[in-house]
Amino acid sequence: MAHILLRHRDVENIHKLDVYRANGGYEGLKKALTEMTPAEVIDVVRASGLRGRGGAGFPTGIKWGFIPKDAEEVYILINTDESETGTFKDRELSEKNPHQVIEGAIIAAYAVGAKRIYNYFRGEFMDAGYAMEEAVQECYANGLLGENILGTDFSCDFVCHYGAGAYICGEETALIKSLEGERGQPWSKPPFPAIEGLYSKPTVVNNTETMANVPQILVNGAEWYTSMGTEKSTGPKIVCMSGHVENPGNYEVIMGTTYRELIEMAGGMRDGKAFKALLPSGGSGPVITADALDAPLTYEGLDAHNSVMGSASVIVMDETTDMVWAAQKMIHFFHHESCGKCTPCREGTFWMEKVLHRLMNGQGTEKDIETLNSVAAQMKGRTLCALGEFAINPVLSTIRLFPEEYKAKVKNSQSEDWEKALATQ
């Protein structure tokens, strides 16, 4: 099947404007600007059921509809901060199919009355950003950005901006703070960005992949889009497959594809080893095991397995993987990336990493599992943003699904080393 998002895999040189246009590019924008009112654009996106592809899954059309109609200064922010462990889809889109992202963003700008779009790349993605800068220049030179786009009254600018290494800037309010020149630390909502966002003006923040979905919705209509996927999860989704599969990479599928099928698409388990577990949403979602492999990739598909699709960054682990080690790797990530603003996250990730570290180093105690559960309980529902909420997922889910591995670590600690460690404390 032809790709809807990763179109560069079907059409050579689609990163170039003439090739993109020769293949239907900017037709969605043309239709929006010349045949539709902004309200009609929002309606069709709402009817398509498109939901945020960054992980949270908020309906895109509804988000756009929150922008006050009489607002004079509105901003569109594209979130290309892509920093979740296991996620590499927005980078591919930006490098290889940048015009589709730009077109989606201009349509969004028209829908909400924004005159400027900022694309926030993580600092490590300057190469990808450079590819998009070239596409932006082509747009300016051909009347697709700047004054009077496609000869209409609508004018809009597009600016690529670069962070400097901070996972937290993928959180929308932290991204806004970072773009304002501050440390990227989230604020407690409300106010929501739709009312008070960048420079305290109404702001839409959408993920890169979300934007790439918009142009063809305009061209082909909402019904075309809802014909793909399930009732609550429509359209295509890029899945980032990593870890112990034969062929890691991005795979574009229709929502509803099962996790088992995804592993098969990625060439199956590496070296023929047996599947053990996977993280469906990078480090942020709870681990699932073989009993969940026939669940569909949808926003609601993993509800019964206490997990989430999230950004669909699937990290696959085979039978040789030490799950306590995996949990330690993830908590190290969240501890490193915690912005430090709220106490439960800053302290909680610190202590969880400390406890997992000593479990891994043969210095664990009987009480450690209890301590991990207790710290997690003190973080849950008490952090400023979702980072702290996510951080506990890989730890709690591995304790729940692989308790024997944690117990074995404690048992192995009852050694001379362990006694030595206690004696020196």
Partner 1 sequence: MIADKYAEEIEGILARFPHKKSAVLPLMHLAQREYGYMSEDAMREVAGILDLDPTHVLSLAGFYSLFHEEPTGKYVLEICNDLACALRGADEFVEMVCRKLDIPLGGTTEDGLFTVKGVMCLGACDRAPMLQYNLKFAEHLDEEKFDNLIAYLREEAASGEEPPSVVEKIAAYAKK
What are the residues binding partner 1 (CB under 8 A)? 82-88, 90-91, 122-127, 129-130, 133, 137, 159-167, 178-184, 199, 240-244, 248-250, 279, 282-283, 313, 315-317, 321, 326, 329-330, 333, 336-337, 339
DSSP for residue 255: T
CB of 147 to partner 1, least distance (A): 15
Q: Which residues contact 290 (CB under 8 A, 6 or more apart)?
A: 275, 276
* Whether the Cβ atoms of residue 405 and residue 324 lie closer than 8 Å to each other: yes
Place of tokens 């709220």: 342
CB of 140 to partner 1, least distance (A): 11
CB of 39 to partner 1, least distance (A): 27
Nearer to partner 1, 39 or 141 (CB): 141
* Whether the Cβ atoms of residue 80 and residue 94 lie closer than 8 Å to each other: yes
Which helix (H) or strand (E) covers residue 414, if one does?
none
CB of 123 to partner 1, least distance (A): 5
Q: Which residues contact 424 (CB under 8 A, 6 or more apart)?
A: none
Nearer to partner 1, 63 or 99 (CB): 99
Spacing of C-alpha 171 from chain mean position? 10
Would strands 275-283 and 288-289 be described as parallel, antiparallel, or unpaired? antiparallel
Nearer to partner 1, 126 or 304 (CB): 126
CB of 399 to partner 1, least distance (A): 17
Which residues are bridge partners to 251 per DSSP?
Answer: 239
Place of tokens 């009254």: 153
Nearer to partner 1, 70 or 271 (CB): 271
Nearer to partner 1, 94 or 257 (CB): 94
* Whether the Cβ atoms of residue 116 and residue 149 lie closer than 8 Å to each other: no
Nearer to partner 1, 49 or 286 (CB): 286
CB of 124 to partner 1, least distance (A): 5
Nearer to partner 1, 276 or 409 (CB): 276
CB of 336 to partner 1, least distance (A): 6
Q: Which residues contact 16 (CB under 8 A, 6 or more apart)?
A: 138
* Total count of residues recorded for the chain: 425
